[in-house]
Copies of this chain bind each other. A is one copy, B any other.
Amino acid sequence: MNDLNKWRDYLRDFAEKREWTQFHSPKNLAMALSVEVAELLEHFQWQTEEQSHNPEPERLAAIADEIADVQLYLIRLADRLKVDIGQAVEQKTKKNEEKYPVEKVRGSSRKYTEY
């Protein structure tokens, strides 16, 4: 069994034991995910891009914790919606290959920034 499925099962059990499944609607989990991502963002808000590549060790440990939180809520949200993350990623990467052909987008961040 791959890691994502192992963690999914772990989180199910974790919530069940605590009787927290009742709070885990997709709406609530999407909010929680959003809050965790902001805690990650917070570490970088006043840093330059260059600084953001080299957080001091204590900060890096805090960032790793937030990355784990985001990963865990994402798995839990997907599970509650019966979305298979592995399958979703495979489909999305195929779409991205088509959307961003190398020849067309090389060296440009333009594609991202259309509005």
Contact = CB atoms under 8 A, between A and B. Distances in A.
B106 A83 contact: no
Contact of A115 (B3, B38, B59): B59
B25 A49 contact: yes
B46 A113 contact: yes
Contacts of A65: 88, 91-92, 95
Interface residues of A, number: 76
Given A3-B86, A33-B70, A67-B85, 15 more contacts: A2-B3, A7-B93, A18-B102, A20-B107, A23-B109, A30-B37, A32-B112, A35-B42, A46-B109, A46-B113, A53-B81, A63-B81, A64-B87, A68-B91, A72-B93
Interface of A: 2-4, 7, 10, 14, 17-20, 23, 25-28, 30-35, 37-50, 52-53, 55, 58-60, 62-65, 67-72, 74, 77-78, 80-81, 83, 85-89, 91-93, 95-96, 100, 102, 105-107, 109, 112-113, 115
